[in-house]
């Protein structure tokens, strides 16, 4: 089957680090156009915004949006109105209501909408889910701590309204937890630490439950030195440890498992499968948990933060 012509919107760090290399190796998609206000990709036709890209390139089959969530709704709606299949970088939208509206729009237009959660595609997430199936969960601990200056240098938008703050990486942990745990997650409380000169939290502690088991999640954007992207699950068969963002799995009485980083290659393969099957994939659970944390969270003001 011929590859599909794809336009990439938003040429920032995540696009350059992950999307462009994955597309370069893809047999499903041909990256033939890009839209960005500030950046360009060498060898790819460039447009200042998604509307001009769509108008100039009607032959596009699909679009991948890598822009920040705030303001993405209008871009996504333009793509769907043009009848193009759409893939969304996480988080899929700034609000739950936005992505629900986009899902309805995609269905009405007869095109595929794929809301991606790249951390679910980490090498050992599926194996962790399979091992936990049928086991009794006693407790879960999530530690997602990284250095904002290393991973989001100078990106002020991430701490602005609609930028999600520490939930931008934290939602990756929630996307894995909702994938591997047998029972749904429910938020019971949260503490959100917001710098005096910012709007979104730079750290957060969230209390949740899954079944009758407590879940404690700690998110921190000020972690220096060794970074932590770990989930531990106490079960009646021992402790499961999923480390390094889902790429390393430690099980009781077994050698550790570790696979290669192919998250974005898997995302684009999944997107192609959905397009060819005429289906969409819009799982809102991680975004709903973040929204719930904001709803019930206690806001604490902390010292100012500057890059």
Q: Which CATH number fits domain 119-256+291-302: 3.30.360.10, 3.30.200.20, 3.40.50.970, 3.40.190.10?
A: 3.30.360.10
Per-residue pLDDT reduced to its tens digit, 174-186? 999 999 999 999 9
Using a pLDDT cut of 90, give the percent of the chain over it: 98
CATH class belonging to 4-115: alpha beta
Per-residue pLDDT reduced to its tens digit, 41-81? 999 999 999 999 999 999 999 999 999 999 999 999 999 99
Sketch the domain layout of the chain as residue ranges: 4-115, 119-256+291-302
Per-residue pLDDT reduced to its tens digit, 210-256? 999 999 999 999 999 999 999 999 999 999 999 999 999 999 989 99
Which DSSP category does 19 fall into? I
Q: Is the pTM of this model over 0.85?
A: yes
Per-residue pLDDT reduced to its tens digit, 106-119? 999 999 999 999 99
Residue 2 has pLDDT above 90, yes or no: no
Residue with tokens 């750290």: 203
- The catalytic residue among 5, 84, 90, 145 is 90
Average pLDDT of the residues in 156-183: 97
Residue 1 has pLDDT above 70, yes or no: no
Tokens representing 120 are: 């679910």
In sequence order, what E strands does 196-265 have? Answer: 203-210, 213-220, 228-235, 238-243, 248-250, 257-258
Using a pLDDT cut of 70, give the percent of the chain over it: 100
Q: How far is 27 from 181, CA to CA, in rounded Å?
A: 33
What residue spans of the chain are helical by DSSP H? Answer: 13-14, 20-25, 50-56, 72-81, 96-109, 125-132, 148-151, 167-180, 263-277, 285-296
Active site residue 90: yes
């Amino acid at each position: 089957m011929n590859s599909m012509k794809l336009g990439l919107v938003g040429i920032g760090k995540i696009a350059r680090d992950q999307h462009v290399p994955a597309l370069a190796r893809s047999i499903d998609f041909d990256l033939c156009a890009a839209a960005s206000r500030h950046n360009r990709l060498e060898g790819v036709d460039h447009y200042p915004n998604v509307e001009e890209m769509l108008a100039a390139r009607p032959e596009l089959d699909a679009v991948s949006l890598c822009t920040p969530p705030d303001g993405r709704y209008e871009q996504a709606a333009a793509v769907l109105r043009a009848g193009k299949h759409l893939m969304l970088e996480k988080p899929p939208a700034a609000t739950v209501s936005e992505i629900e509206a986009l899902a309805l729009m995609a269905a009405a237009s007869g095109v595929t909408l794929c809301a991606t959660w790249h951390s679910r595609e980490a090498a050992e997430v599926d194996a962790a889910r399979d091992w936990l199936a049928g086991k009794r969960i006693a407790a879960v601990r999530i530690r997602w701590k990284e250095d904002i200056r290393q991973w989001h240098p100078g990106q002020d938008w991430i701490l602005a309204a609609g930028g999600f703050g520490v939930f931008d990486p934290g939602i990756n942990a929630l996307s894995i937890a909702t994938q591997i745990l047998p029972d749904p997650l429910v938020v019971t409380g949260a503490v959100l630490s917001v710098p005096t000169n910012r709007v979104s939290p730079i750290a957060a502690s969230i209390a949740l439950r899954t079944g009758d088991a407590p879940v404690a999640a700690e998110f921190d954007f000020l972690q220096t030195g060794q970074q932590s992207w770990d989930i531990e699950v106490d079960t009646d068969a021992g402790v499961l440890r999923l480390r390094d963002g889902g790429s390393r799995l430690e099980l009781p009485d077994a050698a550790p498992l570790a696979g290669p980083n192919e998250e974005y290659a898997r995302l684009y393969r999944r997107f192609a499968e959905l397009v060819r099957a005429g289906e969409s994939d819009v799982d809102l659970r991680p975004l709903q948990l973040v929204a719930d944390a904001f709803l019930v969270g206690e806001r604490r003001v902390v010292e100012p933060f500057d890059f």
